[in-house]
Amino acid sequence: MNICIIGTGYVGLVAGTCFAESGNDVICIDINEEKIRILNSGKIPIYEPGLEELVRRNLKEGRLRFNTNLDKAVKESFLIFIAVGTPADKDDSADVKSVIKVATKIGKAMNEYKIIVIKSTVPVGTAKKVCEIIRGATTYEFEVVSNPEFLKEGAAVDDFMKPDRVIIGSNEQKAAAVMEELYSPFVRTGKPIVVMDTKSAELTKYAANAMLATRISFINELANLCEQVGANIDLVKSGISSDSRIGTQFLFPGAGYGGSCFPKDLRALIQTAAEKKTEMRILQAVEEVNQQQKLKLVDMISHHFQGKIAGKVFGIWGLSFKPRTDDMREAPSIVIITELLGKGARVKAHDPEAIEEAKKIFGNRIEYYKIPYDALAGADALVIITEWSEFRRPNFERIKKLLNQPVVFDGRNIYDPKRMKEMEFDYYSIGR
Ligand code: NAD
């Protein structure tokens, strides 16, 4: 199939590349000329494991192209995916301006029957709106499909190639059949393609993220209670997660969730409900707990140093919102570091991939180190914010020698408290 993907970010680039990998002819479009230049040189502008190799191969074999000319790409393609960003607007609703802009351009570029697929995460009713916009700009027949994306940054290629399910929102059978054919190579292990109406598909994406964020805030709140009553969240967690109705996933206590999806999607869903005079009380609490949780490490640090943070030096490991990505959007590290700087601390930070992104946020207000241990020289404590796997088995003796005092604040519970005590660290983690 001839496919055009508009918006070549985390989602558009992965989707376009994976569709090319399964034999389709794909052209990825973006307004960012620099991004397109980098991609055409066979490099990728983001860090996503396994993606660059796939991009290079499909580029070389001519199945994957990158361009800024939307009009031409739409004319050449049968399936047009919209994968532009939908960031939070001022009132927390999803800002769909880019989606609307792109829809208008698609409408003007139409030259025959096409299927327009919305992959961006958009509020309920957006497919209908996009349909009206295109209808107003062309006399050609077309159909609009909602096909939300569930990939996780850091494992995006695998998630796209082997999805747990594919959601297709279509009010027309013809478009749904084309979409099922497109996705059939990705669900050969029997994973379902669930076809539904567009509104239900749009809401499904928000519902999934809301459920996952709820589990995180739930376990974080429980971890905080463990601290108060002297219980251990690791034990409580293994006790509850062995119940198959509960399971093990997304029950890791930590310094709060972040990223480009959970926070904004949760708030957008709350806002959608508010527009319909409906209150999402559970989700409001989930967000509130998460905001508090991002400050948890700062509270622990303040407590340990008896409020005397000014002039202290903190070695930070992990800046990205989660491991295996360079994405800094709504990362807990932003809140934690900003708080520490505000209290007069000095921050020396290391991240395996996110330093360049972090520089866009903190500039020269913090120091950056490529080697994790270099961030610890002369620091008063190590603070772990993101659980990159390279932090799991460090040389503790070396850490001890580098730090002014052996103090570790672990926002992801990656070390064993008993072992840390044996090694004579002052060790703080969440809920244990
Ligand atoms: P992103 O910011 O990484 O990429 C968006 C891209 O769209 C950018 O490259 C931008 O330059 C381009 N763009 C913006 N306006 C444009 C226009 N008018 N024409 C052409 N290109 C334009 O965003 P992302 O993380 O890929 O997310 C895209 C959508 O997918 C969002 O709605 C997001 O909520 C959703 N989503 C994201 C993830 C994720 O993990 N990142 C997962 C599932 C769904």
* pLDDT of the chain, 432 residues: tens digit per residue: 999 999 999 999 999 999 999 999 999 999 999 999 999 999 999 999 999 999 999 999 999 999 999 999 999 999 999 999 999 999 999 999 999 999 999 999 999 999 999 999 999 999 999 999 999 999 999 999 999 999 999 999 999 999 999 999 998 889 999 999 999 999 999 999 999 999 999 999 999 999 999 999 999 999 999 999 999 999 999 999 999 999 999 999 999 999 989 999 999 999 999 999 999 999 999 999 999 999 999 999 999 999 999 999 999 999 999 999 999 999 999 999 999 999 999 999 999 999 999 999 999 999 999 999 999 999 999 999 999 999 999 999 999 999 999 999 999 999 999 999 999 999 999 999
Q: Contact at 8 Å (CB) between 118 and 146?
A: yes
Mutate to test the pocket of ligand 1, among 46, 84, 267 (most ligand atoms within 8 A of CB): 84
- Look up residue 3 and give its DSSP letter: E
Closest CA to 156 of 351, 269, 325, 311: 325
Active site residue 261: yes
Residue 39 Cβ contacting ligand 1 at under 6 Å: no
Ligand 1 atom nearest 120 alpha carbon: 32
The predicted pLDDT at position 387 comes to: 97
The predicted pLDDT at position 200 comes to: 98
409 in helix, strand or coil? strand
The predicted pLDDT at position 182 comes to: 98
Q: Read off the tokens for 193.
A: 């393609």
Residue 411 Cβ contacting ligand 1 at under 6 Å: no
Residue 147 Cβ contacting ligand 1 at under 6 Å: no
Residues contacting 72, CB < 8 A, separation 6+: none
Residues contacting 74, CB < 8 A, separation 6+: 4, 80, 105, 106, 109, 110, 114
The predicted pLDDT at position 172 comes to: 84
The predicted pLDDT at position 85 comes to: 97
Ligand 1 atom nearest 68 alpha carbon: 20
The predicted pLDDT at position 173 comes to: 86
Closest CA to 127 of 163, 175, 89, 88: 175
Kindly provide the b/e burial profile for residues 92-108, where b requires at least 16 CB atoms within 10 angstroms of the residue's own CB. Answer: bbbbbebbbebbebbbe
Q: Read off the tokens for 415.
A: 């070390």
